[in-house]
A = this chain, B = another copy of it.
Amino acid sequence: MSDNGPDHTVSLRAAGLRPTRQRVALARVLFEGGHRHVTAESLHAEVKATRMPVSLATVYNTLNQFRDAGLLREVVVAPGRSYFDTNTGHHHHFFVETDGELHDFSSEEVTIAGLPAPPEGTTLARVDVIVRVRR
């Protein structure tokens, strides 16, 4: 009798989202197992492989809703393609330009000193560090 994995129903509800079949299936793929970096297309392919029918539009909707709810973080590294990161903690990225791979590293290892003050009338939202590497 099946207690398999976390109850996504509760976190979805907490985010103000109904735990529909599709959203639960997507949450399972995204949040069970370690941290992930996905694109809409890659996630769509993955969830379809679990035999749960989900349209690409729903994948896009869900990624945006999860991002807005703080369940995912969007990472912009290259033009014309969005990555979503299941790691929402403080961390930065290696981006392997030659093959589009993304790897996390904790921001605790890194010290950034001497950042100038934000422009007049703005407040800091986040500091992103992208270490671009090539194979």
Contact = CB atoms under 8 A, between A and B. Distances in A.
Interface stretch (A5-13, A23-31, A123-131): A123-131
A72 to B, nearest CB: 14
A127 B76 CA distance: 14
A61 interface: no
A134 B115 CA distance: 16
Nearest to A101: B119
Q: Return the 6 tightest CB-CB contacts between A and B, nearest first.
A: A122-B133, A125-B132, A128-B130, A118-B133, A111-B113, A126-B132
Interface of A: 74, 76-82, 94, 96-97, 103, 105, 109-116, 118-119, 121-135
Copies of this chain per assembly: 2
Contact of A119 (B79, B94, B119): B94
9 contacts: A76-B76, A76-B77, A79-B80, A80-B80, A109-B114, A110-B115, A118-B133, A126-B131, A128-B130
